[in-house]
Amino acid sequence: MLGRFWVSKRGNFAVATAVAMVPLMLGLAASIDLIGTSDDAAQLQNSLDAAGLAMGTKYQPGMS
pLDDT tens for the chain, residues 1 to 64 = 677 766 766 777 778 888 999 999 999 999 998 888 888 888 999 999 999 998 888 877 776 6
* Domain residue ranges of the chain, discontinuous segments joined by +: 1-59
How far, in Å, are 1, 21, 23, 58 from residue 31 at the CA level? 32, 15, 12, 41
Torsion angle defined by CA atoms of residues 14, 18, 21 and 23, in that order, rounded to the nearest 10 degrees: -130
Helix runs in 1-64, H state only: 2-7, 12-58
Q: Could you give the CA distance from residue 45 to residue 37 in angstroms, rounded to a whole number?
A: 12
What does pTM read for this prediction? 0.50
